[in-house]
Structure 1
Amino acid sequence: MPGRMFLTTPLPEIAVKLGATLEGLGDEPARLNIAPGETIAVLEQGHLIQMRWGILPVARKNARGRPVMETIINARSETVFDKTAFEGVRRCVVPVDGWYEWTGETRKKTVWRIAMKDETPLYFAAIADTWVGPGGIKLDQVATVTCPPNADLKDIHHRMGVLLRRDDIGVWLGEDEAAARALMVPWPDGLLDIRKTEDPGAI
C-alpha cells in the first residue's frame, strides 16, 4: 500500500488528462518522495487541489466508543464505507506516477519502485475530509483506499492501493455507492513495472 509516492508528470498535464482545472496549483517541480503529512494534488469536483496526506479523525470514535487518535493515510476498502471513523468523508482521486514499497529486515530493506509499464499516471481511489481547527481554520485532508494485492505485488506487500482506470474515475466520484464499492478490487496483473531502486529518502 502506498507509504511513499512520487509524481513527476507536470500538474498541468495531469489536469488535461483528467479534464480538471488547477486550483492553487501550477507548474510545480517533480516530487520523487512524497511522504505522509505533506500536501498532495487531489482531484475533487473537477478541480485539482492541495490536501494534506493523512486524515486526523478529530472527535471520531471507534466501535467501542473510544476516540480515534491515529492519523489515517490508508483506509481499508473492506470497511471504508462502514467504519464510524469514516462517516461523512467524500470520495476523491489521488494522481501519481507511482509509489514505493519496502521488503526485508531493518537496515537491510529492499526498496521497490512501482509504476505503470507504459509510464502513464496512476489514479488512487481516495477519501477526503475537512478538519476545522481553532478560529475556524480549515484543512482539507486525504487518505488513499487499499485492497488485497494482485499477483504482481503479493510477495512485496499484503495490501495495495485501489487503482482506478481513467474511465472509472467518474464512477468513483459519483453518487452510486454500490458502483463505487465494485471498483475496490486489485489492479489487473501484468500492467505494473516493479523494480528495485534507491531509498527515496536519499533522493
Structure 2
Amino acid sequence: MTGRLFLTSPMSALAAALEVPVGALVDEPPRANVAPGQQIVTLTHDRLCHMRWGIIPVGRVNARGRPVMETIVNVRSETVFDKTAFAGTGRAVVPVDGWYEWTGEKRRKTAWRITPKGGGFLYFAAITDLWRAPGGMEVAQVATLTCPPNGDVAPVHHRMPVLLEKEQIGTWLTGTAGAVDPLLRPWPEGSLDILEARGGDWTAP
C-alpha cells in the first residue's frame, strides 16, 4: 500500500504543471513525509485544495449490508467500481513528488524513495467523499487507488499507486467507468527511480 507521500516542490511549480491557479495553497510548505490522516494537496476538476487522506466510511456498507468500519486510505482499482462501499464517491488526483515503501522486518525496515525517472510530478488517481462530522462540520476526504506493481516497484512492494499521465487527468476526473478502465494499470517498467531513503525521518507506517 501507499503509506507515505512527499511533496516538496513549490506550489507555483505544481500549479503551472497542471495549468490551474495556485489559489489558497500559495503558501503551502514543503512536506517530506505525509501520513494518512493528514491534509494533502488534491486536484479536483479545476483547482488545488486540501483533503484529508483517508475516508471515514460513516454510513457506508459492504455487499452484505454491514457497516464498513476501517478508515479507507488505499482502494484496489480492480474493485473500486464494483463495491457498494464506494458508491457515490467522487474522483480527484493527488499530485506528489514521490512516495515511500519499506522492506525488511519490524524495527529493521529499509525505506525506499520512489520518484519519476527524469524528474517531475506523479499524479495518483483517487476517489473522494465528504464526511459530515458532529456539529455540522464537513470534511473533504480522499483515498488513493492502487494496482499490481510494475517491474520497478515489485522488489519493494506487491502494490503500487495508479499513476496517471498529465493528459489522462481529465479522463479520470470526468470519464465513465468504461473510459477510465484502461487507466487503471501499472506504469510501464523503467519509468520510476527507486533509491534507499537516507538522512530523514522515514517513520514506517
Shared fold, TM over 0.5: yes
2:114 match: secondary structure: strand
Q: Distance in 2 between matches of 1:106 and 1:114?
A: 21
Matching of residues 27-42 of structure 1 within 5 Å: 27-42=27-42
Partner residue, 1:200: 202
- 1:103-150 Cα offsets, whole Å, 9 max, x none, are 111111111000012111000000011111223210000000000000
Cα separation, 2, equivalents of 1:24 and 1:85: 32
Aligned to 2:188: 188
User: Could you tell me how far apart the structure 2 residues matched to 1:138 and 1:40 are?
Assistant: 16
SS in 2 for 1:181: helix
Give the TM-score taking structure 2 as reference length: 0.95
SS in 1 for 2:82: coil
* Structure 1 position 27, deviation (Å): 2.4
Q: Give the letter aligned to residue 142 of structure 1.
A: V
1:175 aligns to 2:175 (yes or no) = yes
2-structure distance, mates of 1:115, 1:18: 18
Q: TM-score, normalised by structure 1?
A: 0.95
**Runs of 4+ more than 4 Å apart:** none
Corresponding letter in the other structure for 1:180: V
The corresponding residue for 1:65 is 65
SS in 1 for 2:153: coil
Aligned to 1:52: 52
Q: State the Cα distance separating 1:11 from its structure 2 match.
A: 1.2
Inter-partner Cα distance in structure 1 for 2:155 and 2:105:
14
Q: Which amino acid aligns with 1:201?
A: T
The unaligned stretches of length 5 or more in structure 2 are none
Counterpart for residue 99 of structure 1: 99
Quick one: distance in 2 between partners of 1:23 and 1:128? 20
What is the deviation of 1:54? 0.3
Cα shift at 1:23: 4.2
| Aligned partners of 1:41 and 1:49 also within 8 Å | yes
Please state whether the residue corresponding to 1:170 is helix, strand or coil: helix
Pairing of 1:1-203 with structure 2 (within 5 A): 1-198=1-198, 199-201=201-203
Partner letter of residue 137 of structure 1? Answer: M
Secondary structure of 2:163 counterpart: coil
Task: Show structure 1 runs of 5+ residues with no match.
Answer: none
Deviation at 1:47, TM superposition (A): 0.5
Contact 1:75 1:145 in 2 (8 A): yes
